[in-house]
Amino acid sequence: MKSLGIDHLKTHLLLSLFLSCVTQLGFAANSEFLRLEIENLNGGNHASTASLVRNVDDLSAIYGDYQYQPLWFADGPLASLRTDLQREILRSADHGLALHRYHYDELLAGTLPETQLDVLYTDALLSQVRDRYRGAVAQVDDQWYLERESIDPRGLLQQLVAQGKGLSDLLHALWPQTPEYWALVAKRAELSTAADATSRPVDGGPALKPGASGPRVAQLQERLLGPGEHSGTFDEQLRQAVVTFQQGAGLEADGIVGNATLEVLNATRFSWIDRLDANLERWRWLPRDTPSTYIRVNIAAFQMRVIENNAEALTMDIIVGRPYRETPIFTEDMQYLVFFPYWNVPYSIAVKEKLPLLRQDPAPLAAAGYQARLAGSQEFVPVTEVDWQTVRPGQFTLRQLPGDHNALGKVKFMLPNQHSVYLHDTPDKALFRKSERTFSSGCIRLAEPRKLIEWVLNHDKSNYLTQVDRLFESGETTTAYLKDPIPVYLVYFTAFAVGDDVVFRRDVYGRDQRIVDQLREAGKSRV
């Protein structure tokens, strides 16, 4: 019996030694295969991974740090998190991100060799980190001047390796953590499960007005009033339905179905989802550390909001740039106010808009307070004292005197920037009766500047607060500097939260589709 025990012990030790050797050989083999996989990627050979990877440099550094050992298989430190990552990738589709971008099909099938799958899991994680935090597409808006923030996905992966858990919480925290962003996500989920419209679109053609009749009017009635027997005549009931629809869509509520109304009327839930995807992407481009008090100008909504201590303190209708003079997206600090300002006419406006008028007849511009300074002179003179037939672009500077006709009105709010864009009053108050207000040369015109003056000076605890009446009526040019500059964000959202709902506005600058196209291309390319 004793000899049998000894023999059994010997056998056990030999078997343990054999298994240990086999295990070491397995690790070595995995390490070698992973090293070759990474070398292929560095050499531009993506074929072995079945779909393209996006983070080649990071992958090389990461696997080098871990001696080319598996991270997600063979008892790797992230092996228990594979299902969590698959689940998070699937959830990211609810935010408008393409699943193919993160190798979802390959990871779910699990049919590739483990070394290849290991690389794809790591690549997918790195891409999820970047795309959630700073957006998935290249910068396609040429008027976007807000710098997107960077993030260190390798550092987060190392954190996961050290913890061995918490992947879902870590990735969730990378989304924009604002109620407005999550309102768009919720709206997208609602539309994704909604039933398709049962009525057919309204055919294109001339504008439909009260008194019109025919098949297109019948289509309009079905679209707005629901299925049933319709007269095909544009009556008062239909006009009211059109007005109600236009008001809800932020369109000119004139009861006439022109191109703008028809575009929104014929939109499907899929087109609304596309719009939401574009706006969700914009949110991911924005700075994350927004202060508790700031001013936000939503160009597409024609609205300014003052946020004070994370609560809305003031809203105001605004006018923004014309489609050929788009208001840019950027942020700067409001530093001072100027009461009864001069308008120093930007060069492009002076040359393209004012010079032809001056050559035709300078008298109307002189009556409106315009002065010119010729090259080599230090003095401004009335524009009627200049021979404009001999003046060429670049040879003059133009300004408008303070007064009732001044394009800036009684006050401008200065946030010095490279675009020469700021907030200001306007003498053209009638334009605020329009729903879509693209009438400026890029600056932001305010419907109620007096209210913003009072809020700014009160927030700044300025001594000028007691002098607002005098400053606003004296006609004297006065500059009021702020002790604490106020951040101003100019943004562009065509879908945004209002109360418990999300509203859509027409994409007046045509910016949404470029983002949507990029998101779709990302899905097609399987990267």
Distance CA 292, CA 307 (A): 7
Residue 222 has a CB neighbour count (10 Å cut-off) of 16
Report the Cα 125 to chain-centroid distance in Å: 23
Angle of helix 114-134 versus helix 56-65 axis, rounded to 10: 120
C-beta of residue 346 within 8 angstroms of C-beta of residue 321: no
For every residue of 426-495, DSSP letters joined together read: -S-GGGGGSSS-EEESSSEEES-HHHHHHHHHHHTT-GGGGGHHHHHHS---EEEEEEEEEEEEEE--SE
Neighbour tally for 229: CB within 10 Å: 7
pLDDT number for residue 9 = 45
Adjacency order of strands within the sheet including 396-400: 343-344, 396-400, 370-374, 381-382
Q: Over its length of 527 residues, how does the chain's per-residue pLDDT go in tens digits?
A: 444 455 544 444 443 433 343 334 344 556 787 888 888 786 666 555 556 888 999 999 999 999 999 999 988 999 999 999 999 999 999 999 999 999 999 999 999 999 999 999 999 999 999 999 999 998 778 899 998 999 999 999 999 999 989 999 999 999 999 999 999 999 999 999 887 766 788 999 999 999 999 999 998 998 888 888 889 999 999 999 999 888 887 788 889 998 888 888 888 888 999 999 999 999 999 998 899 999 999 999 999 999 999 999 999 999 999 999 999 999 999 999 999 999 999 998 999 999 999 999 999 999 999 999 999 999 999 999 999 999 999 999 999 999 889 999 999 999 999 999 999 999 999 999 998 999 999 999 999 999 999 999 999 999 899 999 898 888 899 999 999 999 999 999 999 999 888 999 999 999 999 999 988 876 554 33
Residue 45: its pLDDT value, please?
Answer: 60
Given a contact cutoff of 8 angstroms between Cβ atoms, the answer to whether 67 and 38 are in contact is no
Residues 101-111: tens digit of each pLDDT: 999 999 999 99
Q: Which is catalytic among the residues 12, 230, 405, 424?
A: 424
Catalytic residue list contains 21: no
Give one word for 30, left, alpha or beta, with left for phi > 0 and alpha for psi -120 to 50. Answer: alpha
d(CA 239, CA 203): 18
Contact 80, 125 (CB under 8 A): no
Give percent helix, percent strand, percent coil of the chain, each to the nearest 5. Answer: 45, 15, 40
Residue given tokens 């800036």 in the structure block? 408
3-state secondary structure of 323: coil
Q: Are residues 388 and 407 in contact, defined by beta-carbon separation less than 8 angstroms?
A: no
**Sign of the alpha-carbon dihedral angle for 423, 424, 430, 431:** negative
Return d(Cα 152, Cα 309) in angstroms, integer: 30
At residue 527, the pLDDT reads 35
Domains of the chain: 2-175 (no CATH), 289-504 (2.40.440.10)
**pTM to 2 decimals?**
0.84
pLDDT digits (tens, 9 = 90+) for 22-74: 334 344 556 787 888 888 786 666 555 556 888 999 999 999 999 999 999 98
Measure the CA–CA gap between 224 and 220, rounded to whole angstroms. 6
Element housing 35 (H / E): helix 2-42
Reply yes or no on whether 424 is catalytic: yes
- The CA radius of gyration of the chain, in Å to the nearest whole number, is 31
pLDDT at 133: 96
Catalytic residue (choose from 100, 172, 405, 443): 443
The sign one gets for the Cα dihedral 56, 57, 62, 66 is positive
Q: How far apart are CA 199 and CA 413, in angstroms?
A: 49
By percentage, how much of the chain surpasses pLDDT 70? 91
pLDDT at 28: 56
**Rounded CA gap, 49 and 41, in Å?**
9
Helices then strands, each counted (H, E), the chain? 18, 15
